[in-house]
Amino acid sequence: MRHEDIWRAIDTLAAERGLSTSGLARSAGLDPTSFNPSKRRGADGKLRWPSTESIAKILMATGSGLDAFAGLVLGARTLPPARVTGRRVPVIGLAQAGQDGFFDDAGYPAGGGWDHVALPRTEAALADDPHAFGLTIHGDSMEPVYREGDIIVVSPAAPVRAGDRVVVRTSAGEVMAKLLQRRSAQRVELASFNPDHKLLVFPANQIAAIHRIVWASQ
């Protein structure tokens, strides 16, 4: 196994998903510069290898198996067709989702700036929802269920009930992943799995959207 073979396999995996190596790293919850050419050698000129954790994360994010990645390392030019044609959804960071331009008036993904993540399997809730999208978790309010760097996928078409894990967007542009504790015509109560974070209560008219989380990259 050679250093250049590993990096070529990562480059190919990114290209198969229509991503740059920076986009591949972001989709896996890694630092965007993780796979940059400058990171492939140390300051002393010595070769640097990607960590097994980084490889595991990009395989999970792209829905690729270790056997397919090993094929790329050994010289295969492409992934097996079944891997390439998996369901892909747009994905951005939670902080980006609160900015203008990423959603249309109906609350569906729009505009540029989205990366994509391939799901390892097609969930029933996603099969009928072309507007499904993914978000990369930031912060610790959902630990230990969701951790920094995890990718969650939500389906605007999925029904939402109390007790569901959801992504909420407020009229002020704040976006958060929470547990829907209670919802009425007057108010919405949102809980965190991390006990260090208090219960949040919003007037119902301050909630722009609530979407159920239907898949996570853990």
pLDDT at site 197: 87
Query: Rounded to two decimals, what is the model's pTM?
Result: 0.60
pLDDT tens digits, one per residue of 98-154: 887 888 777 788 877 888 877 765 455 566 688 889 898 888 877 877 888 888 889
pLDDT of residue 173: 84
pLDDT higher for 168 or 194?
168
* Digit-coded pLDDT (tens) for 23-32: 888 888 888 8
Q: Which residue has the higher pLDDT, 94 or 198?
A: 198
The β-bridge relationship of strands 133-136 and 200-203 is unpaired
pLDDT in tens, 7-48: 999 998 888 777 788 888 888 888 889 999 888 988 888 999
For 165-183, the pLDDT digits (tens) are 999 999 888 888 899 999 9
Residue 5: band (very low, low, confident or very high) from pLDDT cuts 50, 70, 90: very high
